[in-house]
Structure 1
Amino acid sequence: MNVNKKVLCLTDIENGLEPILQEATNTSAENMLTLQSYGAAISHPYGEIMRSVIIAIYQEDVEEIFVVGTKDKKSSTGHVRTQLEIKKDKIQTLDYLFQHCKPEFFGGTVDEWLDGNSSGAIEKSVEIIRNHPLVPSYVKVRGLIVNPKDGTSSIVDVPVTKTDQVYPDHCLSR
């Protein structure tokens, strides 16, 4: 265990993950920072979650970031989706935008965007953090899937593809 290494874990709103994360990341409780949000996904490279990640890197000297998803989790968005069923015409419009205006919208449908906890969401979040111009190159960024029921974890391998673009394509037209 590297006693000096600071680790930031971006997690879902899930209780009891700390012991699993400490073991999976080989980090002590004193050196682990946890940033919780519904779905643990970064949907925009200049949104509030990404801002918090960047501030943590510089203020806390974070060396490694884990975007954490949970396995076998009951959908916390089920009630939200039931309420949204009433607004089917608006959801159809949003689904059209999600499919045709990427990368501003994360996910292919409103349901995928609301869930935000799939391995695809984790991979996309890892890419956004890795390729962000304000994230230093020495910071390691990885995905992690944990199963709170049995305490197991597995690393999500996201190939390193450095791009200089973290802006939507339509913002770059000159």
Structure 2
Amino acid sequence: MNLDKNKKALFLTDMENGLEPILQEVTNIRAENMLTIQSYGSVILHPYGDIMRSIIIAIYQENVEEIFVVGTKDKRTSTVNVSTQLESTKNKIQTLDYLFQNSKPEFSGGTVDEWLNGKENGSDNIEKSVDIIRHHPLVPSHFKVRGLIINNYDGKFSIVEVPTNKTVSNLT
């Protein structure tokens, strides 16, 4: 995946450290042209939330030309089951679950657990985030958005592009 090294790109990555050099090597984009937003699980839960706001501002303010939503295959999206740690707030969680189910679109997801932990499959999370970015009314329709999964096997990294429903230009 050799891209124009002078192109500015935005990477939405997991909280894992050390991804930038790998992405720089694979995409051939210079470090000074890489912007990174870190999020637990590389997930955009709401099309009008803080992460999406940062992406839109980067597109227009920083002249970003392409966005990569990057996840890692060797670890689960959420390393901790947050809802079990919140057992002391069980009544509040039940109330929030009720609101999640009955007050859409204010709340994203079906339950507090889904909202906190995301989906089990990291590829699904990445595909959903790519879809949210691509279909956002403030993102130009010609804008390139790709989903990538970094696989760390035996200390060697490989990157796999996540297929999405909407077709984009070939990798060149």
- Normalised by the length of structure 2, the TM-score is 0.78
2 CA distance for matches of 1:62 and 1:114? 29
Please say if 1:158 is aligned against 2:164.
yes
2 CA distance for matches of 1:35 and 1:24? 18
Give 1:65 shift.
0.5
1 CA distance for matches of 2:52 and 2:159? 24
The 3-state SS of whatever aligns with 1:62 is coil
Q: String of CA shifts for 1:143-162, please: whole Å, max 9, x gaps.
A: 1111345412211111128x
1 CA distance for matches of 2:101 and 2:126? 19
- AA aligned opposite 2:145: V
Give 1:110 shift.
2.8
Farther off after superposition, 99-108 or 121-130: 99-108
Please say if 1:14 is aligned against 2:16.
yes
- Determine what percentage of the aligned residue pairs are the same residue: 69
2 CA distance for matches of 1:18 and 1:27? 10
The residue aligned with 1:141 is 145
Aligned with 2:79 (options 76, 80, 86): 76
The residue aligned with 2:50 is 48
The residue aligned with 1:36 is 38
Aligned with 2:126 (options 118, 122, 133): 122
Aligned with 1:60 (options 42, 58, 62): 62
The residue aligned with 1:165 is none
Give 1:89 shift.
3.6
Gaps of 5+ in 2: 168-172
Give the conservation status (yes or no) of the 8 Å contact 2:6–2:30: no
The 3-state SS of whatever aligns with 2:42 is coil
Q: Which runs of 4+ in 1 moved over 6 A?
A: none
